[in-house]
């Protein structure tokens, strides 16, 4: 049987921003930019924000849940609610999607109240789409509420930021996240829960998804591959082949980054007289190479070759080789570019 969907009230780290939103009721602006990390449940908060704005009998606590508008929203058939997001087969949101949205928001409200538009991951818009959205934010239709969510603020044009009221939604502290995840998945020990959170950048919902989708077994498979490569039992191409078959092969980059992070942490905490600065620097360089490899993966590089060279870099790190990681990865990757 499927687990029941999480409710906003079950995520303690969202209570403060939700209360902040409630304090704005009765004097809402036309556009809000929610800045948050991925995987902490911001989608649940947006849904409740939209549902409350559309509700015919909303209170300071939220939507009534009983009116015709609330029923339409729950059934995902509300004619005054629009959700703009990147299409699965696209790398960005195009201007045509924004223009279609503008046409809808210019129509008269079907329920006589607000029209609510959620622009998910607004940083995914291309330049033309940004410009079209900006014009709409400057001249919004009457009783239209824009909710923009963003997890990479650095990619967002200053002009978009300046047209919105900002609401920062902070990730939970590690102790809060550990306690929450332990309650959600009590069958796992704390060591595994901490690993799940660290591998998912402290995001509790992403960590839960990682556990439920076989992440524990996947991580063990990755570790076994490293052992076989280090012992010479398998060549790099044989080791990376199973990784490429994962539902999300990009998780490899998180695993390598996490490995370097933990190695550096061990050295810092165990240093008695002096910190091994060169080793720390080398590991920091390796972390940068992991990010560079991930960027190459997202570009036009040969994905198998990217992973092979990243594994070769790791072997150098684990064997404390003297070759500079940046040079090795860059030189070897060139022959894999398509």
- Displacement of CA 212 from its chain's centroid (Å): 17
| pLDDT confidence bin for 2, thresholds 50/70/90 | low
For 108, counting Cβ atoms within 10 Å of its Cβ (0-12 exposed, 13-18 middle, 19+ buried), the class is exposed
The pLDDT of residue 275: 62
Q: What is the mean pLDDT of residues 230-257?
A: 94
Question: What average pLDDT does the chain have?
Answer: 88
Strand 165-169, strand 115-119: pairing: unpaired
Q: What token pair was written down for 114?
A: 């607000």
The pLDDT of residue 263: 86
pLDDT tens sequence across 91-115: 899 999 999 988 887 887 887 788 9
Q: Classify domain 8-169 at the CATH topology level.
A: Rossmann fold (3.40.50)
The pLDDT of residue 16: 95
Q: What token pair was written down for 299?
A: 């570009």
> What burial letters (b/e) apply to 155-180, b meaning 16+ CB within 10 Å?
ebbeebeebbeebebebbeeeebbbb
The pLDDT of residue 271: 60
- Displacement of CA 257 from its chain's centroid (Å): 16
DSSP H/E element including 179? helix 174-184
Helices (H) and strands (E) in the chain, counts: 15, 5
The pLDDT of residue 177: 97
Cα–Cα distance, 126 to 117 (Å, whole number): 18
pLDDT tens sequence across 145-203: 999 999 999 999 999 999 999 999 999 999 999 999 999 999 999 999 999 999 999 99
The pLDDT of residue 140: 85
**What DSSP line would sit under 17-53, residue for residue?**
HHHHHHTTTTS--SEEEEEE-TTS-HHHHHHHHHHHH
What residues form DSSP beta bridges with 62? 59
Could you give the maximum distance between any two Cα atoms of the chain, in Å?
72
pLDDT tens sequence across 277-330: 778 888 889 999 999 999 999 888 999 999 999 999 999 888 754 344 444 444
Could you tell me the pTM of the whole model?
A: 0.84
Neighbours of 87 (CB within 10 A): 10
Angstrom distances, CA of residue 289 to CA of 34, 134, 186, 255, 333? 31, 36, 36, 13, 11
Cα–Cα distance, 10 to 19 (Å, whole number): 14
The separation between the first and the last C-alpha atoms of the chain, rounded to the nearest angstrom, is 45
Residue ranges per domain, the chain?
8-169, 213-336
The pLDDT of residue 280: 80
Please report the sign of the dihedral spanned by the C-alpha atoms of residue 128, residue 132, residue 138, residue 143.
Answer: negative
The pLDDT of residue 1: 47
């Amino acid at each position: 049987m499927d687990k029941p969907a999480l409710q906003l009230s079950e995520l303690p780290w969202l209570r403060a921003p939700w209360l902040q939103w409630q304090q704005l009721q009765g004097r809402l602006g036309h556009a809000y930019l929610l800045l948050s990390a991925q995987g902490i449940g911001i989608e649940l908060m947006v849904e409740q924000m939209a549902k409350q704005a559309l509700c015919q009998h909303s209170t300071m606590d939220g939507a009534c849940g009983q009116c015709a508008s609330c029923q339409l929203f729950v059934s995902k058939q509300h004619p005054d609610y629009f959700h703009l997001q990147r299409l699965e087969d696209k790398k960005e949101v195009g201007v045509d999607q924004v223009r279609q949205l503008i046409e809808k928001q210019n129509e008269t409200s079907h329920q006589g109240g607000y029209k609510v538009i959620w622009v998910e991951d607004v940083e995914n818009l291309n330049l033309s789409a940004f410009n079209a959205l900006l014009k709409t934010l400057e001249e919004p239709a009457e009783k239209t509420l824009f909710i923009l969510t963003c997890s990479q603020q650095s990619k967002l044009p200053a002009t978009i930021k300046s047209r919105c009221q900002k609401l920062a939604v902070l990730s939970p502290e590690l102790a809060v996240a550990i306690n929450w995840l332990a309650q959600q998945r009590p069958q796992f020990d704390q060591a595994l829960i901490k690993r799940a959170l660290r591998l998912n950048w402290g995001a509790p919902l992403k960590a839960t998804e990682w556990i439920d989708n076989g992440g524990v077994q996947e991580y063990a498979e990755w570790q076994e591959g490293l052992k076989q490569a280090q012992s010479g039992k398998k060549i790099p191409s044989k080791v990376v082949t199973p990784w490429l078959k994962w539902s999300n092969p990009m998780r490899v980059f998180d695993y390598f980054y996490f490995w370097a992070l933990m190695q550096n942490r061990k050295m810092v905490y165990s240093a008695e007289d002096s910190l091994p600065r060169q080793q720390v620097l080398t590991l920091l360089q390796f972390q940068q190479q992991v990010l560079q490899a991930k960027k190459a993966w997202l570009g036009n590089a040969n994905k198998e070759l990217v992973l092979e060279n990243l594994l070769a870099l790791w072997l150098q790190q684990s064997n404390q080789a003297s070759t500079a990681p940046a040079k090795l990865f860059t030189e070897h990757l060139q022959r894999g570019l398509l």
